[in-house]
Structure 1
Amino acid sequence: MIEQRALKILEFHKVREQVAAFCTNSIGKQAIEELVPETDYDTVVELLEEMDEGLAILRVKGNVPLGGIFDVRPHARRSQIGGMLSPMELMEIASTIRASRILRNFIEDIESENTIEIPHFIERKEQMPVLTALQHEINDCIDDNGTVLDSASPALRSIRQSLRSEESKVRQKLESLTRGANATKMLSDAIITIRNDRFVIPVKQEYRSHYGGIVHDQSASGQTLFIEPDAVIQSNNEVQRLKVKEKAEIERILSELTLRVQEVGHEIFVLVQLLGEMDVILAKGKYGQANKCTMPKMNKEGYTRLVRARHPLLPIEDAVANTIEFGRDVTAIVITGPNTGGKTVTLKTVGLCTIMAQCGLPVPALDGSELAVFEQIFADIGDEQSIEQSLSTFSSHMVNIVDILSKFNEKSLILFDELGAGTDPQEGAALAIAILDETVDRGARVMATSHYPELKAYGYNRPSVVNASVEFDIETLSPTYRLLIGVPGRSNAFEISKRLGLSSNVIDHAKSFTGTDRHEVESMIASLEESRLRSEREADEAHLLLEDAQKIRAELEERLRIYDEKKENLEKKAKDKARKIVDDAKKEAETIIAELRKMKENAALSVKEHELIDAKKRLDNAAPIDNNKVLQKAVAARERKQNLQVGDEVKVLSYGQKGTLLQKAGNEWVVQIGILKMKLPESDLEYVKPEKEQATRPMMNVKNRNSVVKLELDLRGERYEEALIRTEKYLDDALLANYPRVSIIHGKGTGALRQGIQNFLKNHKRVKSYRYGEAGEGGFGVTVVELK
């Protein structure tokens, strides 16, 4: 167990006071006040894990229901030795049981949510006794103000009803006296009051005999007597008898409830203990939240690494954070330098953080901190001059150091402040070195401060010791309180004197007494300080760059993940849509094929030509449209500058049909598609080059069904067989375009082509009639066909 002396020197009691302020009941506060560091590694780790669970609950839930808890252990103990509990004590027991039930439900809710792991809280919840029946029994008899209820028993209800009735009778009789004809003259005041638990009226001294009865009291002047008149003595007697019965019944009820408490006395002790433990754990977590503390990792090897640690008792905004590491290759740190630089604060920071961790408290340092579990912590800090023992400062320190040297081992942390101070500098420095050698050689972890220049080279001659100093700003003539590991403290007396205006001649004369070696050491220290500061700045910059890079990487990884998810979803939707389009196309094609087969079976019947043409067109349109290709063509058309003119033949990309440009309307074109006229944007139009007339390949002039159908067909120069084929195709297109009348130009010539065309028209079932053209239509060189 760690000695109380070290806890007192390091002011651990102030830390306990700060933590206790976060407790919600006296049970937890008492436990915190008795808090001492544990020396068993497994116990310390368990305490920190419990505290971390409390922190997790506070982060997720914000608060924990711990109201209404009282330390009812003295009540339970008194019930066990035969004492009767008061109504208020019973009420506190019921309130504590009720609070435990609420807390149990709270923990069970967290357990069912499965958002955080809290095995230690769950374990305590399962150990909590269930005393709900006792709570209900007490609440049925006693209210929250500690008053025994009428409903506590039928007998008590009956007694109190009678008591209220008798008291009402007494009041009525006395009120009749106070309202009497002579009342204002005989009474000091027309009121009813109580003396000796009996109802009385204030009567003037001279009218005492008028009311008779018993005098229970008088005023300070003796002029007023408080008299119980003869008329209410019997009623008052009855009230007193009922009050005695009421008291007896209440005592009986309280005795029964006390007996019930006695039966579960052990369970109450266990319940209070568990509630107090959970309050302590949560108070530690609240303290950690309020002071920006973290849970350190613990080890058995004596290794300490505090990342930007602050002194626990200094305000957060004032404390300077330092990173301190030692305990493996380096087992001792010697901090040198002038006074008031923060050396002692550094010692206390390490000592307090170690004690706090061994108590299961979070430490004021950043994540990544690590501390050791020590069996003993020794501290020799401060001026302990003792007048009573006639000891000087040096003697007082040496008494303490002798005691430390007789007790410490390799599992000890020793903190020396101003080691060897208070005596001759040379002897003090020699003693300091010898004491440090003794503690380091025996394996203890040591931190020491000193202002002796001899100790500045101490760390360079011993591999397990490192020098350190506290930074001093020459410009402001004040310490920065930043710890510099690896750099011994430098005397700044000459620089400070110069800044303060001391003559250069005096300073140079003083330097002549210090010697060459001293100059070289000071120069070396200055160089080390400069190198250290430069390294720290570069390390800070590198750390910031690394954090930025990690942040950017995390953002990019998150964006890539979201992109991949969206890509997969879009691909799935596209495949599903494509599959649906193909399925719909297959169904449409199957329907059309079935209709064509039915037409074939009914060939003997009259099948209209447009039905066959329409079925074929539906079959062509059943194929899924490649929207990507249409979109690509549309984009290409927008990117390609087109010099469109009236009369040009174009393809409408959104419909897949051809048309002719009639006129331009702003940014749109009026397009003739068959018999339809539509306004379309130029981006939806694609210029189509006109097909060239070729004698060797006349079939190239035959337009497909999707081309624009003209009102006349020019067959001049065509051979007879090819002319008939073109005529048949042209009539089909004209019928699809719903033209009522078309013209076929065959020329006059020998008349053979004209005769063949008219014979073909005569046998065509969709030709209503035909005639030669009028004089203005081409005469005998043209046949005008009426379609049906």
Structure 2
Amino acid sequence: MNQKALSSLEYPKIIERLTEKASSPMGKELCRKLQPSTDINKIRLMQTQTKDALTRLFQKGSVSFGSVKDIRGSLKRLEIGSSLGIMEILSVCALLENTSRVKAYSRGDRSDLPSDSLDSMFEQLAPLTPLSSEIRRCILSEDEISDDASPALRQVRRNMKVTNDRIHTQLSGLVNGNARTYLQDSVITMRNGRYCIPVKAEYKGQVPGMIHDQSSTGSTLFIEPMAVVKLNNDMRELELQEQKEIEIILAGLSEQIAEEREAIALNLELMVQLDFIFARAGLAMDMNGSEPVFNEEGRVLLKKARHPLIPKKKVVPIDIRLGDDFNLLIITGPNTGGKTVSLKTVGLLTLMGQAGLHIPALDRSELALFHEIYADIGDEQSIEQSLSTFSSHMTNIVSFLEKADSRSLVLFDELGAGTDPTEGAALAISILSYLHDKGIRTMATTHYSELKVYALSTPGVENACCEFSVETLRPTYRLLIGIPGKSNAFAISSKLGLSDQIIERAKEQISEQDESFEDVLSSLEENRVTIENERLEIARYKEEIKTLKAQLESRQEKLDAQRDRILRQANEEAHKVLEEAKEYADQTMKLFHKFQKNNVDTSAVERERQELRKRMNKAEKNMSDRQETKKPKKQLTAKDIRPGDSVKVLSMNLKGTVGSRPDSKGFLFVQMGIIRSKVHLSDLELVDEPVITTPSLQKTGAGKIRMSKSASVSTEINLLGRTVDEAIAELDKYLDDAYIAHLKSVRIVHGKGTGALRKGIHDYLRRQKHVSSFRLGEFGEGDAGVTIVDFK
């Protein structure tokens, strides 16, 4: 990719954010060198690795590679037989210890999960725990070797301690004894690695020994007394022995490291690669990114794409497509409306995707593989544009036209600006036509109306605009493909206070054809907004209907199950009663036989017992077969029944109201209180309408009121979408009708929403004297979106 496009599309800023996510110096270096690739297989592998690392981050949290230092130089020295210093050996140890932690991170809770692209890398890690443990045993810190590193070192240090104690004993005897009067201070000091005492210059002859130093004034001499010269020499020899033993220990550790050089080098490479991969995953997590689907057909389809450098609270997601029905997209609209952001979003997300980074867009967004991106994007919003600005842009465009091919993406910001509008528009159309004829994917932003007409009249070219609200004078930043944008210059100027007289004179300066074209655009925009609002409302209604349908089906299933359970229990109880009756009858007959001595006619008794058993068996058969013994007075036909009629369901022994006309097979719905069931005409019997009297209602001539209307009142009222006042007015009349119809309970559907409608309805119900109680629906009844009301 050319560097100018990377810079124009702000790709380096993405790399900076990626580099911050890496924890090791070598990992950060890989991040800084990351460039978009043109190898589709490499891109897909990197995207898969990023996705798998992101999955692990979500499942198990972050992992650190901070101790991974560049030890390649140390390994090279080992290869030629050199020994390593303490710091180098500790760096190797830190790598092995961090490798062990990363290896443990990969193993935890992965047994029941499918393998991914990172498993092989984790499996190749070799922590070499014995080697790292040996290093930690021998080296305590960067400037301290353990006494236990070797027996020889332990013995040397023990001798050093004994010699040191003897030196201090000798010198303490001098300092606190006869030589005290000759000393400047009663202290023991060290000069050039030798223990000395500070002697006044005038008494140097009184303290025999070697002079090692003197004070800046010359009044004090630092003398090593002859009594400790040999001991100091012994200490110096022991120090040299100690250093020699340390070198032997470091050489031994270096030899052990050299034996594992290849494994350590592989660990280093894998750890750096994993740090790089997890840095990409960490960036994807921050951006809420997803894996794009790549194609080689030049098709771009971004769903709810967000520019990654715009704050999350301010960025507006946009839908962009290119390369399916059209290869050239012309974006029009006012300044500061988001045209350039749309352009940069496509370019930057393409670069990120080809670099193996996830993009801030919805899943299954598509990106095309482009071998080169050419972007002419600059700040064209100054009041005056000099010739040099136009020349600069044209120089870029010329280079694009020479190099671009069908595998390129070309982005123009304000194409043709900076010169005469007529010539600029003509030049822009010519350039875009040239690219379009060559099948090059191109996006361009412009103010020129001529380009809008060109897009409308040319196959394979599409208009788009960034939505702008004239009422608020603010852009919405939504990209609308298929609709050319308006400049809205007159509307904006009027809102900002420019006089109508000036605006009218301005309108006279443009041609009637241009004015008509702008009016057409306005009409298209108004229709689009209307259709969009209606579409959203329809979608909301569909979702609401789907929810209500599911609730109704659940409720019907529950009622059917309850009905079957009640009937089954009733039959079981009846069967039990019959069994008990038969047993009692048999016992009674047996007693009759015992009283034969009382001259009872046993044959007559036996006949009577057999007759009784026949009658009871017949009753049991009718009960167990669940046969409806009661027949309707008159076999009803479809003509005899209409919605609202009062009927009796014989199989349930319940009264209800007909809710629908019979179908071709004679089945219809009947509402029985809160139960709505589908029954056959043969199971129904018409009942006379009850007559009620009430002093609170207007009486008929006979002082009675027919219930023909109230009997057909539904057991449910739907108040969804009403305001509180509208709902209360409608509910008031409905409850009166339901109460007159002698319904035991009713169901009020108000939805969940904000809860304001539910609260208003509950406040109203508390004030109604004929309401016994009310409650929210249970599971299967509609939950909190429904209120069940019981009447007194």
TM-score in terms of structure 2 length:
0.68
| 1:515-554 to 2 correspondences below 5 Å | 515-541=511-537
Q: Per-residue deviation at 1:129?
A: 5.1
Q: Per-residue deviation at 1:53?
A: 0.9
Q: Per-residue deviation at 1:251?
A: 2.0
Counterpart contact for 2:327–2:442, Cα < 8 Å: yes
User: Hey, what does 2:619 align to over in structure 1?
Assistant: none
- Map Cα deviations across residues 65-120 of structure 1 (whole Å, 9 max, x no partner): 64533332232123335543211211111221232233334434555x131331x2
Which has the larger displacement, 223-232 or 95-104?
A: 223-232
* Distance in 2 separating the partners of 1:202 and 1:127: 63
User: Hey, what does 1:398 align to over in structure 2?
Assistant: 394
Give the one of 290, 297, 300 matched to 1:294: 290
Alpha carbons of 1:329 and 1:146: their partners in 2 closer, same or farther (altered >3 Å)?
farther
User: Hey, what does 1:20 align to over in structure 2?
Assistant: 19
* Distance in 1 separating the partners of 2:579 and 2:543: 56
Say whether residues 1:38 and 2:34 are aligned partners: no
Give the one of 685, 697, 705 matched to 2:587: 705
SS of corresponding position for 2:502: helix
User: Hey, what does 1:104 align to over in structure 2?
Assistant: 103
SS of corresponding position for 1:21: helix
SS of corresponding position for 1:392: helix
Alpha carbons of 1:719 and 1:172: their partners in 2 closer, same or farther (altered >3 Å)?
same
User: Percent of counterpart pairs with the same letter?
Assistant: 40
User: Hey, what does 2:746 align to over in structure 1?
Assistant: none
* Distance in 2 separating the partners of 1:372 and 1:331: 12
SS of corresponding position for 2:144: coil
User: Hey, what does 2:237 align to over in structure 1?
Assistant: 241
User: Hey, what does 2:704 align to over in structure 1?
Assistant: none
User: Hey, what does 1:88 align to over in structure 2?
Assistant: 87
* Distance in 1 separating the partners of 2:88 and 2:546: 60
What amino acid is aligned across from residue 339 of structure 2 in structure 1?
K
Say whether residues 1:441 and 2:440 are aligned partners: no
- Map Cα deviations across residues 28-62 of structure 1 (whole Å, 9 max, x no partner): 21111111111011111111111111112122222
Q: Per-residue deviation at 1:24?
A: 2.3
User: Hey, what does 1:117 align to over in structure 2?
Assistant: 115
* Distance in 2 separating the partners of 1:552 and 1:124: 52
* Distance in 2 separating the partners of 1:67 and 1:555: 55
SS of corresponding position for 1:475: coil
User: Hey, what does 1:503 align to over in structure 2?
Assistant: 499
Q: Per-residue deviation at 1:200?
A: 3.5
Q: Per-residue deviation at 1:478?
A: 2.1
What amino acid is aligned across from residue 326 of structure 1 in structure 2?
L
What amino acid is aligned across from residue 464 of structure 1 in structure 2?
G
- Map Cα deviations across residues 730-768 of structure 1 (whole Å, 9 max, x no partner): xxxxxxxxxxxxxxxxxxxxxxxxxxxxxxxxxxxxxxx
Counterpart contact for 1:304–1:325, Cα < 8 Å: yes
What amino acid is aligned across from residue 199 of structure 1 in structure 2?
Y
What amino acid is aligned across from residue 514 of structure 1 in structure 2?
I
Give the one of 160, 163, 185 matched to 1:163: 160
* Distance in 2 separating the partners of 1:490 and 1:724: 108
User: Hey, what does 1:254 align to over in structure 2?
Assistant: 250
Compute the RMSD of aligned alpha carbons.
4.0
Alpha carbons of 1:208 and 1:351: their partners in 2 closer, same or farther (altered >3 Å)?
farther
Give the one of 335, 339, 350 matched to 2:335: 339
* Distance in 2 separating the partners of 1:217 and 1:489: 90
* Distance in 1 separating the partners of 2:454 and 2:278: 45
What amino acid is aligned across from residue 40 of structure 1 in structure 2?
D
SS of corresponding position for 2:337: coil
SS of corresponding position for 1:314: coil
Give the one of 125, 138, 141 matched to 2:138: 141
Alpha carbons of 1:400 and 1:183: their partners in 2 closer, same or farther (altered >3 Å)?
farther
Counterpart contact for 1:343–1:449, Cα < 8 Å: yes
User: Hey, what does 1:278 align to over in structure 2?
Assistant: 274
| 1:373-388 to 2 correspondences below 5 Å | 373-383=369-379
What amino acid is aligned across from residue 152 of structure 1 in structure 2?
A
- Map Cα deviations across residues 672-719 of structure 1 (whole Å, 9 max, x no partner): xxxxxxxxxxxxxxxx9xxxxxxxxxxx9x954279999x99999x75
Counterpart contact for 1:470–1:483, Cα < 8 Å: yes
Q: Per-residue deviation at 1:124?
A: 1.7
What amino acid is aligned across from residue 349 of structure 1 in structure 2?
T
* Distance in 2 separating the partners of 1:423 and 1:399: 14
Counterpart contact for 2:380–2:414, Cα < 8 Å: no
User: Hey, what does 1:3 align to over in structure 2?
Assistant: 2
* Distance in 1 separating the partners of 2:192 and 2:276: 49
Q: Per-residue deviation at 1:223?
A: 5.3
Say whether residues 1:54 and 2:53 are aligned partners: yes
- Map Cα deviations across residues 180-239 of structure 1 (whole Å, 9 max, x no partner): 477598344x54443323334445555555544344445555555544333332222222
SS of corresponding position for 1:268: helix
Counterpart contact for 1:296–1:362, Cα < 8 Å: yes
User: Hey, what does 2:150 align to over in structure 1?
Assistant: 153
Q: Per-residue deviation at 1:326?
A: 1.0
| 1:199-214 to 2 correspondences below 5 Å | 199-203=195-199, 208-214=204-210
- Map Cα deviations across residues 228-285 of structure 1 (whole Å, 9 max, x no partner): 3333322222222111222222223323433444444444333211111111111211
* Distance in 2 separating the partners of 1:551 and 1:721: 72
* Distance in 2 separating the partners of 1:374 and 1:539: 36
SS of corresponding position for 1:313: coil
Identify unmatched segments of 5+ residues in structure 2: 608-792
Alpha carbons of 1:257 and 1:516: their partners in 2 closer, same or farther (altered >3 Å)?
same
Alpha carbons of 1:715 and 1:221: their partners in 2 closer, same or farther (altered >3 Å)?
farther
Alpha carbons of 1:216 and 1:629: their partners in 2 closer, same or farther (altered >3 Å)?
same
User: Hey, what does 2:674 align to over in structure 1?
Assistant: none
Q: Per-residue deviation at 1:458?
A: 2.4
SS of corresponding position for 1:472: strand
User: Hey, what does 1:678 align to over in structure 2?
Assistant: none
Say whether residues 1:423 and 2:361 are aligned partners: no
Alpha carbons of 1:447 and 1:244: their partners in 2 closer, same or farther (altered >3 Å)?
same
